[in-house]
Amino acid sequence: MIDCIKKIAMQIVEELMDSQKYIDLAVKMKEDYPRLADTYRDLSADELDHAARLHKAGSELVEADDEDADVAKIIWDWETERMEKWEQSIRVLHEMYSK
């Protein structure tokens, strides 16, 4: 179970990294290549959705586990807090892009 949680957390990090990469490109290219920039913004949003779906699956897994419940919940809560802060910073860039 713990290994599965770690794998999901790593996959979420990968999704957030990709989302960050795409929104950074969107902001950088918005003025010169607006259509391409919009595509990058959309890709970033897609990656955020992937991260959210993985997070939901991980949360359901933690809630359903009886064997490692306490340890799994501590790890998952710590990872969730870390990832939520990162996601919020990405969403700020999305808001900046939209202005």
Structural domains of the chain, count: 1
At 57 the pLDDT is 95
For residue 22, what are the contacts with CB-CB under 8 A and spacing of at least 6? Answer: 40, 41, 43, 44, 47
Judged against a pLDDT cut of 80, whether residue 66 lies above it is answered with: no
For residue 80, what are the contacts with CB-CB under 8 A and spacing of at least 6? Answer: 55, 59
Judged against a pLDDT cut of 90, whether residue 67 lies above it is answered with: no
Are 50 and 28 in contact, with CB atoms under 8 Å apart? no
Tens digit of each residue's pLDDT (9 = 90 or more) over 8-51: 999 999 999 999 999 999 999 999 999 999 999 999 999 999 99
Tens digit of each residue's pLDDT (9 = 90 or more) over 47-59: 999 999 999 999 9
Tokens for 9, please give them: 């957390």
Domain containing 56: what range? 2-98
At 17 the pLDDT is 98
